[in-house]
Amino acid sequence: MKVRPQAIFSFVFLIFFIVFAYMAKDWRPQARLYPLVIGIPMVILALVQLILDLKGIERKQQDAAPVDFQFAQTTLEPAVAKRRAITMFAWFFGFFFAIRLLGFSITIPLMVFTYLKIQANEKWLLSLTLTAIAWGFFHMLFVRLLTLPFPEGLVFTWLGID
């Protein structure tokens, strides 16, 4: 058995998901539902992937997803690809920081709307409609049905608003 970079990567993910699921063990049943439902299957999948990586089993090129094949043979200019990657990561990190600063309840509709208006350049009516649908789905599923407690953002904590 040879330790390859893929195996190290899989091991890191295995540890991450073990910690992810373990940290929820003392939470209320409603709060630990999400980490356990996601974490336990991911621990199993990461363990399987680690075993495959340690055995040296690699996927054949014909088994590769079409996206991998298309991406590998793209004729996209490197500058355009770099700009798109930076834009994608900017949206990702912006979403992460907005959740931390404003909380989920405000960030979900805010990010949906800003993405549709700024990045996708959609019309006002479509942007507002899809934002309302996303917020309604989020609110009905996570707040009303599952009654998951979402912490307020840091801004509200700093301002003393509950």
pLDDT in tens, 43-61: 999 999 999 888 887 766 5
pLDDT for the residue numbered 62: 55
- Whole-Å CA distances, 28 to 16, 36, 148: 21, 12, 10
d(CA 135, CA 123): 18
pLDDT at 142: 86
pTM of the model: 0.56
b/e map of 86-112 (b: 16 or more CB within 10 Å)?
A: eeeeeeeeebeebbeebbbbbbbbbbb
Instruction: Give the chain's residues under pLDDT 70.
Output: 1-2, 59-74, 162
Tokens of 34: 């999400």
pLDDT of residue 162: 64
Helices of type H across the chain: 5-22, 29-55, 66-72, 78-102, 104-114, 124-138, 154-159
| The token pair that represents 92 in the structure block | 């990702």
Burial zone of 17 (CB within 10 Å; 0-12 exposed, 13-18 middle, 19+ buried): buried
pLDDT of residue 57: 76
